[in-house]
Structure 1
Amino acid sequence: MQPTIILGGRHSDERGTLRFNNDFNAIPVKRLYVIHNSEVRPIRGWQGHKVEQRWFMAVEGDYEIGVIKVDNWEQPSPHLPAQKFRLSQEKADVLHVPAGYITAIHALTSANALLVMSDYRLGEVQDEYRFPLDYFKDIF
């Protein structure tokens, strides 16, 4: 399975604006949280999961999210290819990152909030892997 964008949309009329995502299936989601990146450290990463999958949606601001399929969780190659995805508060697009990937989150705006959803409860599995931000080359 590959990371994919589940396209959302936006509707505006005299009453205001509605952002929606009619194709996102939230049944696997067991928990969620919101990340607010500071201006001091606008890139968070690299963090990933062998077992857990994640969904991301920009609630406020714009984001670029780097995604890498990991080849060896104990010592991955620092030259693995990365994909970049862009999320914006303008639409309710959802980025699905399946198990087996790591991510780095780059807030592109000082006002920002990123909704993150997971298919496991906190502490349900021991499945968190972190790597220094500069471990992977030429991503951001």
Structure 2
Amino acid sequence: MKVLPQLIKGNSNADDRGVLHFNNDFNAFGVKRIYTIQNRDTKFVRGWQGHKIEQRWFSAIQGSFKIFLIAIDDWNAPSTNLIQHEFILDAQKMDVLHVPSGYVSSIQSLEKSSKLLLMSDYLLGDINDEYRYDINYFTK
């Protein structure tokens, strides 16, 4: 049985000093690399890309994103009608989406200038574990 993606809920607190966004339940142990992505516009969908071994964590740090995840059954020729898990990440909530190994993702910005933080448990070049499929490969 595949490990399911998990949304680790964040929160915020506002007072006379300003706003504090936090995620006290996210444990960053094992994170070895971080980077950000910004899609060129809200119509562009970045996908499908995933990892058989690497796991990742996503968090919106500006704006919001719609993310679909699919557990892959056969990396050489996956089924085209696999179950898609949908998540919305919003920078105002500081949620962290854990993407276990074995999933591909598609990422769409929901607002102009949205920025997504990605974290990985492998350094760049440590393993050869990147799989890409055409954006129209999986049916929605």
Q: 5+ unaligned residues in a row in structure 2: which ranges?
A: none
Instruction: Report the 3-state secondary structure (helix = DSSP H, G, I; strand = E; otherwise coil) of the residue aligned with 2:25.
Output: coil
Say which of 111, 122, 125 aligns to 1:123.
Answer: 125
Count of residue pairs brought into register by the alignment: 138
Q: Partners of 2:35 and 2:44 in 1: how far apart?
A: 18
Letter in 2 for 1:61: G
The aligned residue for residue 10 of structure 2 is 8
The aligned residue for residue 37 of structure 1 is 39
The aligned residue for residue 24 of structure 1 is 26
Q: 5+ unaligned residues in a row in structure 1: which ranges?
A: none
| 1:137 has 2:139 as partner | yes
The aligned residue for residue 91 of structure 1 is 93
Taking only aligned residues, the RMSD between alpha carbons, in angstroms, comes to 0.9
Deviation at 1:41, TM superposition (A): 5.5
Say which of 58, 67, 79 aligns to 1:77.
Answer: 79
Q: Partners of 1:111 and 1:39 in 2: how far apart?
A: 8
Q: Partners of 1:110 and 1:133 in 2: how far apart?
A: 21
When residues 40 and 96 of structure 1 are mapped into structure 2, their CA distance, relative to the original with a 3 A threshold, is closer
1:68-124 superposed Cα distances (whole Å, 9 cap, x missing partner): 000000010111110101100111100000000000001111120000000000000
When residues 40 and 13 of structure 1 are mapped into structure 2, their CA distance, relative to the original with a 3 A threshold, is closer
Answer yes or no: is the 8 Å Cα contact 2:42–2:109 preserved in 1.
Answer: no
- Give the structure-1-normalised TM-score: 0.96
Q: Partners of 1:122 and 1:50 in 2: how far apart?
A: 15
- Give the structure-2-normalised TM-score: 0.96
Question: Which is further off, 34-43 or 80-89?
Answer: 34-43
Moved over 3 A (4+): none
Q: Partners of 2:105 and 2:139 in 1: how far apart?
A: 14
